[in-house]
């Protein structure tokens, strides 16, 4: 039986194509080819069904969503239906004219990724020469058009010492919010998990910087912080709980309860090519599988936090324990928590492992 309210947000992965080659990329190792992407008509129907389902936010993402020439048309459709529109972008395929066009289409908000505040390191992580400078231009164009701006910064071993400067850069660019989020280890990012994991003392330093900046910049800049699960004691409610607040549509049209759900074996995900969003949300076995608490084993089943964290991340439980039904190993009550601690300890001696880029080949140039 479905007892979940309508989803708050819909993430549309318009394409897996992306000009960057970030080593922490959470998209799958095998990306969807361009020829398998949904066409404009189907994406527009999905947006209409989202409005009918009482979705509040539509996030246009990827890969890089600006690779799609129909991005403006899709934003216009969502805005016309009263949906709050957010573009999650690297900025690398945007110029001033296109930012103006997106604003005219009704885009409310831009979430712009930055890899670091130091230009050379930022470009090296992105694998794109001149990326840092171009991103700053994109931020300026978005603010000129009156759009809200959030800076997204993924934190890992290479840039953890630069968080203070990233926060200051976000303020300088006129962002209202910055998200300082430690790298998650799903998809391609799992390849670089040991190399990306910062040392415990670096994590403590990041938290100290964030707390100081939050106090200093209150009323100026909102700072969201996502700590690394590897050093946690209690799990978070992944995506607000499986199938409770969020739907993710892949480039080829599969509807997922979370970004990495396809990694879980035995689940069959419905396609928006064949079923409506409402039917998927309310009746799809994949969305029902870990929704609520009935599926839980011990220690989750009797835990007083079971309706707070909903067992944590199912994909992480799979990746680290081999079974998506196990307690998230981040939880100190999990029988696998000690295994996670052993991994962290083993990784601490391998800080200088080379990172594998998302794509092979020389860095590209923004010029």
Residue positions forming the annotated binding site for [4Fe-4S] cluster? 18, 22, 25
3-state secondary structure the chain: CCCCCCCCEEEEECCCCCCCCCCCCCCCCCCCCHHHCCCHHHHHHHHHHHHHCCCCEEEEECCCHHHCCCHHHHHHHHHHCCCEEEEEECCCCCCHHHHHHHHHHCCCEEEEEECCCCHHHHHHHHCEECHHHHHHHHHHHHHHCCCEEEEEEEECCCCHHHHHHHHHHHHHCCCCEEEEEECCCCHHHHHHHHHHCCCHHHHHHHHHHHHHHHHHCCCCCEEEEECCHHHCCCCCCHHHCCCCCEEEECCCCEEECCCCHHHCCCCCCCECCCCCHHHHHHHCHHHHHCCCCCCCCCCCCCCCCCCCCCCCCHHHHHHHHCCCCCCCCCCCCCCCHHHHHHHHHHHCCCCCCCCCCCCCCCCEECC
Chain-centre distance for alpha carbon 268: 22
Q: Which residues are annotated as a binding site?
A: 18, 22, 25
Contact 115, 126 (CB under 8 A): yes
Strands 246-249 and 255-256: antiparallel
- Cis amide linkage into residue 63, ω under 30° from 0: yes
């Amino acid at each position: 039986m479905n007892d979940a309210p309508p989803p708050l947000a819909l993430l549309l992965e318009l394409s897996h194509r992306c000009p960057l080659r970030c080593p922490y990329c959470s998209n799958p190792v095998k990306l969807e080819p361009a020829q398998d992407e949904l066409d404009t008509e189907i994406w527009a129907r999905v947006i209409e069904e989202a409005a009918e389902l009482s979705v509040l936010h539509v996030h246009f993402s990827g890969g890089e969503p600006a690779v799609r020439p129909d991005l403006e048309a899709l934003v216009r459709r969502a805005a016309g239906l009263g949906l709050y529109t957010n573009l999650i972008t690297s900025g690398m395929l945007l110029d001033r004219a296109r930012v103006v066009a997106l604003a005219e289409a009704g885009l409310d908000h831009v979430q712009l990724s930055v890899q670091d505040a130091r230009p050379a390191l930022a470009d090296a992580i992105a694998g794109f020469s001149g990326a840092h400078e171009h991103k700053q231009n994109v931020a300026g164009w978005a603010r000129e058009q009156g759009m809200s701006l959030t800076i997204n910064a993924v934190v890992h071993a290479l840039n953890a010492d630069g968080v203070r400067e990233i926060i200051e850069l976000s303020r300088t660019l006129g962002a209202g919010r910055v998200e300082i989020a430690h790298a998650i280890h799903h998809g391609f990012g799992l390849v670089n998990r040991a190399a990306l994991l910062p040392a415990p003392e670096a994590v403590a330093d990041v938290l100290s910087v964030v707390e100081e900046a939050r106090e200093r910049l209150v009323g100026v800049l909102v700072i969201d912080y996502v700590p690394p699960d590897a050093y946690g004691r209690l799990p978070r409610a992944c995506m607000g709980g499986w199938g409770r607040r969020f739907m993710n549509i892949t480039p080829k049209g599969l509807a997922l309860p979370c970004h990495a759900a396809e990694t879980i074996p035995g689940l069959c995900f419905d396609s928006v090519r064949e079923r409506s969003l409402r039917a998927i949300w309310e009746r799809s076995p994949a969305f029902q599988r870990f929704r609520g608490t009935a599926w839980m084993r011990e220690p989750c089943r009797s835990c007083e936090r079971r309706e707070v964290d909903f067992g944590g991340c199912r994909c992480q439980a799979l990746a680290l324990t081999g079974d998506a039904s196990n307690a998230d190993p981040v939880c100190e009550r999990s029988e696998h928590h000690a295994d996670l601690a052993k991994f962290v300890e083993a990784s601490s001696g391998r800080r200088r492992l080379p990172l594998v880029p998302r794509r092979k080949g020389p860095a590209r140039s923004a010029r």
